Structure 1
Amino acid sequence: MNQPWSLIATTPMGLEAIAARELRDLGYEDVQVENGKVNFKGGPIDICRTNLWLRTADRILVKMAEFPARTFEDLFQGTKAVNWHEWIPADGEFPVEGRSLKSQLSSVPACQGIVKKAIVEQLKEHYHTEWFEETGAYYRIEVILHNDMATLVLDTTGPSLHKRGYRKLIGKAPLKETMAAALVLLSRWNPTRPLYDPCCGSGTLLIEAAMIGWNVAPGLRRSFPSEAWPCIPEEDWEQARDEAFDAVKDDIELQLYGSDIDPEAIELAKAAAKSAGFGQEIEFKVAPLAKARPEGEYGVMITNPPYGERLLEKEEVERLNRQMGFMMKTLPTWSMFVITPSRQFEHYFGRPADKRRKLFNGNIECQFYQYFGPLPPRRHHEEA
């Protein structure tokens, strides 16, 4: 089996550059950014490490092949030419899913059937059998057709990487773990500074910050289908997990605070923080935004306030935005970061943002408004 493999970290739209930075921080040099994904090279141990460590990616895929496919015969022969037997054992379960955009082969069910048939034919020739029970390890294959080009990928992750395992119950309009981690990383917060979320909901943003602060690999609490693949040695997974456990810095004191007007949300936040191992490290309390006041100096405030189209009426959202502006006037040493779809946020906040960035929270186009306060006196080398 030739290495290195072509690997893909898929990401939510707008987070590609952050995931690329994560990959470079992990030591990957040949990193290429495209819409919704980051391409890089690696072998078995890299599949293990990236599944465990990437905070802003959704999945780690292996790019098996890419070829022109204008006819079903093109698709069949291109798929059959791949050495599937090097990956899928005789008892492997290999469902095929698909997508098609701007391609002559527009029937996704038909394309899935062709790819499945071609893989079966290739495996038949290698394993000398006419029947595959598919009772073993799980190999999800996807065929992506775009502009008459077929790309075949193998999913090493299973359920999306945003499913860390600590959030058992979900509150209203939750912020995905991947987006929450991205907001913390974009703020350049570090654990020497207080962090406060005045609209914390079920606490996801603060839990992700705690994991970043203690350098906890987000995938440590979950499993992956590729752990059962013979082509990825069990010792590689053991090594990657041992590295991740050794990297935890749980002796760092965290200053993490959250509040929300909804008592039910605060109970969910406390339960999730406890499940994640941060029950004592994050302080949650019930409080309306008008009475929210963080403690400490040179802190960072990051929040995902309610959106009018999802939870509150437009007037209520405007009032919350004004209250955040008033709050910031009383916190001259703090930095503030707000993600919202509101195009008038700066007007109600009372001040133009120092920087804005377009992000998608689910399918909602948002702006990440960034207000930079002064740096702590003793740490002039850090960014706000």
Structure 2
Amino acid sequence: MESPGSLDILLVAPPGLEPVLAEEARSRGFAPAEPGPGGVRITGGWPEVWRANLELRGATRVLARIGAFRAMHLAQLDKRARRFPWGETLRPDVPVRVEASSTRSRIYHAGAAAERVSRAIAETLGAPVSDDAMVVVKVRLDDDLCTISVDTSGESLHKRGHKVAVGKAPMRETLAALFLRQCGYAGTEPVVDPMCGSGTFLIEAAEIGLGLLPGRTRSFAFESLATFDAAVWERMRTQAAPPAPPLRFLGADRDAGAIRMAEANAGRAGVEGVIDFRRQAISDLVAPEGPKGLVMVNPPYGGRIGERELLRGLYGTLGKVLRAGFSGWRVGIVTSEPALARATGLPFLPPLPSVPHGGLKIGLHRTGPLP
């Protein structure tokens, strides 16, 4: 059993972006922040678990390991699960759900393992077991070692609680935040999105610039654990934001419905005062006055919204407008089709690894400051 002050915490990351999340975690004071397949490992007590859920923009969820033991067969798993100190973490009045996985273990039936652990929790702690419980216990059997973790997030952390309205191909907030970081965005420069859709990139950028924490208005599964301290959490959640730079953000889209969605989402996030949304075609895009910054865009791509060949002209127009009017600005384009990115004619830096999103592999294509 881990001691209360040294939990092994896994920050689940979008596949391929583990090193980027590790950078973010280090920047927020989490240690050791070691990236690996599927996530980033940090250590700390329960307050670190709460703070990770509250502050980290790129994490998908936060798992806390609460113990481990060897189990060679189901009877042994059952016996040791019944001796496990569930009451140190779980509450008898809060429903739980158990999910299990098995790799290279003699207990190879994950469903049977989950059933045994569920029964042990119900009969020793008294907690009800429910398929739709927010508190999820994760049982991982790997080489006969049974590791017990609890999902402290509940709903995926990309659900900030602000973006109710979305378009056809919404960008997840967690991905948007990590892509912004890969483009060098740190909250101190303007951001323009000429195909803003429901406004994800701009809302994330504005929150970063204003020092607003991503989890500030939502609830989490850890609030229903026995380890939760409401007074400490309230102090953590209501810390004052640092002074914000006087930034302006610009979002454009030719779809009036998209602009209405984006404005409503920005209002719910509390950043409507710093983002200007306008209905506008790409060909009419003009760089805002003032300091140079970042153009961040997730255009439609073939196989998802439209046919690739029909989109080449759109990407070509985007590249022409940016090359002509955005000297000194950096550009980040997210697409599943490298050929469409190349159709912009922009001077991209070496490619980054692609990441899965909505059944596709998408990639971020970045430039340095445009000439």
Aligned to 2:339: 344
CA distance 1:65–1:44, change in 2 (3 Å):
closer
What is the letter of the counterpart of residue 96 of structure 1?
V
Q: Does 1:356 align with 2:348?
A: no
Q: Is the 8 A contact 2:135 2:224 kept in 1?
A: no
What is the letter of the counterpart of residue 299 of structure 1?
G
CA distance 1:93–1:327, change in 2 (3 Å):
same
Aligned to 1:19: 21
**How far 1:206 moved relative to its partner?**
0.2
**How far apart in 2 are the matches of 1:37 and 1:80?**
30
CA distance 1:100–1:26, change in 2 (3 Å):
same
Structure 2 runs not aligned, ≥5 long: none
**How far 1:111 moved relative to its partner?**
1.9
Aligned to 1:380: none
Tell me the TM-score normalised to structure 2 length: 0.90
Aligned to 2:255: 262
Q: Does 1:327 align with 2:321?
A: yes
CA distance 1:10–1:190, change in 2 (3 Å):
closer
Q: Does 1:72 align with 2:74?
A: yes
**How far 1:259 moved relative to its partner?**
0.9
Equivalent position SS for 1:60: strand
**How far 1:346 moved relative to its partner?**
4.7
| 1:244-291 deviations in Å (ceiling 9; x for gaps) | xx12434x3222001112111111001000111112211111122222
Match of residue 189, structure 2, among 178, 189, 193: 193
Q: Is the 8 A contact 1:259 1:287 kept in 2?
A: yes
RMSD: 2.4
Match of residue 220, structure 1, among 194, 216, 219: 216
Aligned to 2:301: 307
Number of paired residues?
Answer: 364
**How far apart in 1 are the matches of 2:49 and 2:323?**
47
Matches within 5 A, 1:1-384: 2-101=4-103, 103-123=105-125, 132=127, 139-146=135-142, 148-243=144-239, 246-250=240-244, 252-296=245-289, 297-330=291-324, 331-358=326-353, 359-373=355-369
Equivalent position SS for 1:268: helix
**How far 1:304 moved relative to its partner?**
0.8
Tell me the TM-score normalised to structure 1 length: 0.87
**How far apart in 1 are the matches of 2:169 and 2:93?**
41
Q: Is the 8 A contact 1:259 1:266 kept in 2?
A: yes
Q: Is the 8 A contact 1:191 1:255 kept in 2?
A: no
What is the letter of the counterpart of residue 302 of structure 2?
G
What is the letter of the counterpart of residue 200 of structure 1?
C
**How far apart in 1 are the matches of 2:359 and 2:70?**
31
**How far apart in 1 are the matches of 2:232 and 2:350?**
42
CA distance 1:347–1:25, change in 2 (3 Å):
closer
Q: Is the 8 A contact 1:17 1:33 kept in 2?
A: yes
Equivalent position SS for 1:354: coil
**How far 1:218 moved relative to its partner?**
0.3
What is the letter of the counterpart of residue 234 of structure 1?
A
Matched residues, percent identical? 31
| 1:273-330 deviations in Å (ceiling 9; x for gaps) | 0111112211111122222222235221011111111111112221222122212321
| 1:122-154 deviations in Å (ceiling 9; x for gaps) | 43xxxxxxx55579x953212234455433210
Q: Is the 8 A contact 1:258 1:282 kept in 2?
A: yes
**How far apart in 1 are the matches of 2:108 and 2:203?**
42
What is the letter of the counterpart of residue 296 of structure 2?
I
**How far 1:345 moved relative to its partner?**
3.4
CA distance 1:355–1:217, change in 2 (3 Å):
same
**How far apart in 2 are the matches of 1:346 and 1:28?**
35
CA distance 1:325–1:103, change in 2 (3 Å):
farther
Q: Is the 8 A contact 2:323 2:370 kept in 1?
A: no
